[in-house]
Amino acid sequence: MKKINGLRETSYEWGKSGGVLLTLCFCEKMRVYRVLPVLLKSSVLGAAFILLNLSVWADAGRNSQIDLARRAYERAVQQRSMQKIIVALIYLGDAQKDKNIDSAYLNYTYALKLADRFKLVRFRPQIFFETGMLHTKAGNFKMAVELFDSARLSALRTGNDTIVCNVDNVMGTIYMDLWNEVQAKSMFEQAYRLATEKKLPRQAGIALGNMARFINDPDSAVTTMKTAINLINKKREKGKEAALIYINIGNRMSDPDSAISYYQKAISSVDGNPISEIVMQACNNMAYSYLDKDQAANAGRLLQYTAIPIAESDSNYDWLASLYDTWSDVKAYRGDFKGALAMQKKAMKARTQAEKRKSAEQVRLLLILLDVKKKDVLFNQAQLRVTSQDRDIRSLKFVILILFTALLLIVATVIGVYQRIKIKTQRKELDLTKRKMDIHDYERKRLAMQLHDLTGPLEKKMVQHFGNLPFHDPSVREELTAVWKKISSTIHDISYQLNHNMVEDLPFPVLITSLVEDYRSVSDLIIEIEIAPGTIVSAEQKVNLFCIIQEMLTNAMKHVQVGSVTISLTEEFENLYLFYQDNGPGFNPGKRKTQSMGINNIFERAFLLGGKATLKTSPGKGTRWIVAIPVTIYEKQK
Query: What is the CATH number for 620?
Result: 3.30.565.10
- Number of other residues whose CB lies within 10 A of the CB of residue 87: 28
Instruction: Select from 319, 335, 351 the last residue of a domain.
Output: 335
- Which residues lie closer than 8 Å to 323 by C-beta, 6 or more apart? 280, 283, 284, 303, 307, 308, 311
Domain assignment present for residue 92? The answer is: no
pLDDT at 44: 27
Tell me how many domains the chain contains: 2
Average predicted confidence (pLDDT) for the chain: 77
Distance between CA atoms of residues 551 and 563, nearest Å: 17
Residue 518 has pLDDT above 50, yes or no: yes
Domain assignment present for residue 286? The answer is: yes
Q: How confident is the model at residue 447 (pLDDT cuts 50, 70, 90)?
A: low
Distance between CA atoms of residues 163 and 166, nearest Å: 5
Instruction: Select from 303, 335, 367 the last residue of a domain.
Output: 335
CATH number of the structural domain spanning residue 233: 1.25.40.10
Distance between CA atoms of residues 443 and 578, nearest Å: 26
Domain assignment present for residue 80? The answer is: no
Instruction: Select from 309, 335, 361 the last residue of a domain.
Output: 335
Residues 380-414 pLDDT 10s = 677 678 788 888 898 899 999 999 999 999 999 99
Cα torsion 471, 475, 479, 482: sign: positive
Distance between CA atoms of residues 291 and 333, nearest Å: 8
Helix (H, G, I), strand (E, B) or coil at 65: helix
- Number of other residues whose CB lies within 10 A of the CB of residue 343: 23
Domain assignment present for residue 463? The answer is: no
- Highest mean pLDDT among 18-27, 177-186, 234-243 belongs to 177-186
Q: How confident is the model at residue 626 (pLDDT cuts 50, 70, 90)?
A: very high
Residues in the chain: 638
- Number of other residues whose CB lies within 10 A of the CB of residue 298: 17
Helix (H, G, I), strand (E, B) or coil at 630: strand
Domain assignment present for residue 446? The answer is: no
Domain assignment present for residue 173? The answer is: no
Instruction: State the average pLDDT over residues 15-29.
Output: 29
Distance between CA atoms of residues 341 and 331, nearest Å: 9
> Cα dist. 447→136, 164, 491, 492, 499 in Å?
114, 103, 11, 11, 9
Q: Checking DSSP bridges between strand 526-531 and strand 564-572, what pairing results, if any? A: parallel
**Residue 629, strand partner residues:** 576
Cα torsion 301, 303, 307, 308: sign: negative
Domain enclosing residue 264, as ranges: 215-335
Residues 107-118 pLDDT 10s = 888 899 899 888
Q: How confident is the model at residue 565 (pLDDT cuts 50, 70, 90)?
A: very high
Domain assignment present for residue 283? The answer is: yes
pTM of the complete model: 0.48
Q: How confident is the model at residue 194 (pLDDT cuts 50, 70, 90)?
A: very high
Domain assignment present for residue 273? The answer is: yes
Residues 461-477 pLDDT 10s = 666 666 666 766 777 66
Q: Which percentage of the chain shows pLDDT scores above 70? A: 73
Residue 277 has pLDDT above 60, yes or no: yes
